[in-house]
Amino acid sequence: MQIKRFQGLFVKAVVVLGIISLVPVLFIGYRVMRINSRLLTNELLQKQQTVSSRLAAAVRNSISSKEQLLAEFGDLHTDFGSHHLITQPDLDYLRERNPSLFYLTVFSTKGSKIFDTGTAPQISDTLLEQMLQTCLAGNRFISDVLIWDDQPFVWMAEPLHRYVADTTVTGVLASALYVEDISKSLLQMYPLDMDAVLVSNQGDLLSYNGAPGGLDDSSSVRLKETLQAIDEQLGDQDSGSVMLPDGAKMLVSVAHVAQVDWRIYVFQSADLPMKLFLENLFHSSWWDVVWVAGIMVLFVGVVSYLVIIPITRPLARLRAAAVKLREDDDFVVTRQDVEIPHNEIGELASVFVDMSQTLHKRRQELMHTQEELAHMNQALEKRVEARTRELKKATADLVKAERLVAIGQMASIISHEIRNPLAVISNATRLIKMLVRPTDQKILKQFGIIEAEIRQANSIISEVLGYARTREMILSTVEVNSYVREIALSFPKQPGIVLKEVLDEESVRVKIDAEEIKQALRNLISNAVEAMPNGGTVTVGTKVGKRVVCLYVADEGPGLTEEIRQNMFSPFFTTKARGTGLGLAVVRKAITRHKGKLLIKSELGKGTCFQIYLKIYRRMGDTTYGEAS
Kindly report, residue by residue over 377-399, the tens digit of the pLDDT.
888 888 888 888 888 887 776 76
pLDDT band at 316 (very low <50, low <70, confident <90, very high): confident
CB-facing half-sphere around the CA of 172: CA atoms within 13 A = 27
What is d(CA 480, CA 46) in angstroms, rounded to the nearest whole number? 55
Residue 626 has pLDDT above 60, yes or no: no
Per DSSP, the three-state class of 59 is helix
CB-facing half-sphere around the CA of 222: CA atoms within 13 A = 9
Highest-confidence segment of 272-276, 313-317, 480-484: 480-484
pLDDT for 306 equals 67
What is d(CA 211, CA 220) in angstroms, rounded to the nearest whole number? 10
- Measuring CA to CA, which residue among 459, 528, 527 is closest to residue 498? 528
Residue 110 has pLDDT above 50, yes or no: yes
Domains and CATH numbers, the chain: 1-283 (3.30.450.20), 286-357 (no CATH), 358-469 (1.10.287), 473-619 (3.30.565.10)
- Residue pair 433/447 in contact by the 8 Å Cβ criterion: yes
pLDDT band at 481 (very low <50, low <70, confident <90, very high): very high
Helix orientation angle between 514-530 and 480-490, rounded to the nearest 10 degrees: 50
User: pLDDT tens-digit profile of 139-191?
Assistant: 889 988 888 888 888 888 989 887 767 778 888 889 988 888 777 777 777 77
What is d(CA 489, CA 468) in angstroms, rounded to the nearest whole number? 28
CB-facing half-sphere around the CA of 386: CA atoms within 13 A = 6
Mean pLDDT of 223-235: 82
Residue 614 has pLDDT above 90, yes or no: yes
**Size of the chain, expressed as the number of residues it contains:** 629
Mean pLDDT of 443-448: 69
- Measuring CA to CA, which residue among 527, 450, 484, 525 is closest to residue 458? 450
pLDDT for 295 equals 75
What is d(CA 589, CA 468) in angstroms, rounded to the nearest whole number? 10
- Measuring CA to CA, which residue among 503, 557, 548, 549 is closest to residue 525? 557
Residue 215 has pLDDT above 70, yes or no: no
Mean pLDDT of 130-141: 89
What is d(CA 154, CA 91) in angstroms, rounded to the nearest whole number? 18
Residue 478 has pLDDT above 60, yes or no: yes
pLDDT band at 36 (very low <50, low <70, confident <90, very high): low
Q: Which residue has the higher pLDDT, 82 or 602?
A: 602
Mean pLDDT of 483-504: 87
pLDDT averaged over every residue in the chain? 77
Percent of the chain with pLDDT over 70: 70
- Measuring CA to CA, which residue among 244, 234, 245 is closest to residue 270? 244
Residue 281 has pLDDT above 60, yes or no: no
Give all strands (DSSP E) within 69-224, no chain letters.
Answer: 101-107, 113-118, 141-142, 146-148, 151-161, 169-178, 195-199, 205-208
pLDDT band at 575 (very low <50, low <70, confident <90, very high): low
User: pLDDT tens-digit profile of 178-194?
Assistant: 888 777 777 777 777 78
Strand 548-554 and strand 508-513: the pairing is unpaired
- Measuring CA to CA, which residue among 133, 264, 127, 247 is closest to residue 206? 264
Residue 550 has pLDDT above 90, yes or no: yes
Q: Give burial (CB, 10 Å; 0-12/13-18/19+) of 611.
A: middle
Report which secondary-structure segment, H or E, holds 586. Answer: helix 583-593
Highest-confidence segment of 334-338, 405-409, 577-581, 604-608: 604-608
CB-facing half-sphere around the CA of 282: CA atoms within 13 A = 5
- Measuring CA to CA, which residue among 143, 208, 216, 148 is closest to residue 178? 148
In this structure, the number of other CB atoms found within 10 A of the CB of residue 527 comes to 21
pLDDT for 628 equals 40
Residue 580 has pLDDT above 70, yes or no: no
Residue 606 has pLDDT above 80, yes or no: yes
Per DSSP, the three-state class of 242 is strand
User: pLDDT tens-digit profile of 526-535?
Assistant: 888 888 888 8
pLDDT band at 509 (very low <50, low <70, confident <90, very high): very high
- Residue pair 146/152 in contact by the 8 Å Cβ criterion: yes
What is d(CA 138, CA 141) in angstroms, rounded to the nearest whole number? 10
Q: Which residue has the higher pLDDT, 11 or 249?
A: 249
Question: Which amino acid belongs to residue 35?
Answer: I
DSSP track, 591-621? HHHTT-EEEEEEETTTEEEEEEEEE--EETT
